[in-house]
């Protein structure tokens, strides 16, 4: 595990931060949070694992490696505890969408990484699971919020213009990924 040193100023900003103000202005994932200040924070709850995560993962233009490792573990396949590296672009998309929704409620993570075995099992049960799902390569998350509708979440993620956004109204969640820009669902 690598350690990253931060300036005293960067650490003080991190501890003083209570919110991150995002202004997605770029069509690509790397520019997604430009104008967001010096800090990015991810706030999620995983009901299946009974875990919460509320952490700063980016300061002064750099991702924090230990924070990304925690996010990787948090978004693991909870059925078999397999961990995959989650693409930071997906994390940025989730963060930007969350900030646009102007809520302090954490996202509820329904599905992050899925092992090929888990994806095959879910695919056998549902026609809505892709054979080559981006979940299997750490590029997707299925999320919900109690305080916002699926349409509100979908609109926020779509406005980022930085990946795939799927609306699953009947199941009450939104899919976000860092693949090509596209939308689906009703």
* Residue 90, pLDDT score: 97
List pLDDT tens digits, range 91-110. 999 999 999 999 999 999 99
**8-185 sits in which CATH class?**
alpha beta
Sign, CA torsion 77/88/69/67: negative
Say if residue 126 is exposed, middle or buried (CB neighbours under 10 Å; 0-12, 13-18, 19+): exposed
List pLDDT tens digits, range 147-180. 999 999 999 999 999 999 999 999 999 999 999 9
Higher pLDDT, 154 or 20: 154
Distances (CA, A) of 185 to 44, 47, 81, 175: 23, 24, 29, 10
Nearest Cα to 113, choosing from 57, 153, 72?
A: 72
Q: Is the pLDDT of residue 117 over 60?
A: yes
Phi-psi region of 102 (alpha: psi -120 to 50; beta: other; left: phi over 0): left
pTM: 0.80
Phi, then psi, of 49 in degrees rounded to 5: -100, -10
């Amino acid at each position: 595990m690598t350690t990253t040193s931060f300036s005293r100023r960067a650490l003080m900003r991190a501890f003083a931060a209570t919110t991150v103000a995002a202004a997605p202005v770029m069509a690509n994932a790397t520019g997604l949070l430009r104008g967001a200040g010096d800090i990015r924070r991810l706030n999620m709850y995983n009901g299946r694992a009974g875990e919460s995560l509320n952490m700063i993962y980016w300061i002064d233009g750099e991702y924090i490696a230990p924070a990304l490792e925690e996010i990787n573990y948090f978004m693991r396949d909870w059925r078999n505890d397999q961990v995959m590296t989650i693409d930071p672009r997906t994390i940025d998309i989730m963060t930007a969408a969350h900030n646009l929704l102007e809520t302090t409620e954490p996202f509820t993570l329904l599905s992050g990484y899925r092992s090929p075995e888990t994806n095959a099992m879910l695919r056998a049960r549902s026609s809505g699971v892709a054979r080559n799902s981006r979940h299997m390569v750490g590029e997707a998350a299925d999320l919900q919020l109690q305080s916002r509708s699926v349409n509100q979440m979908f609109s926020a993620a779509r406005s980022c213009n930085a990946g795939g956004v799927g609306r699953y109204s009947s199941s009450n969640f939104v899919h976000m990924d860092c693949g090509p820009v596209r939308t689906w669902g009703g």
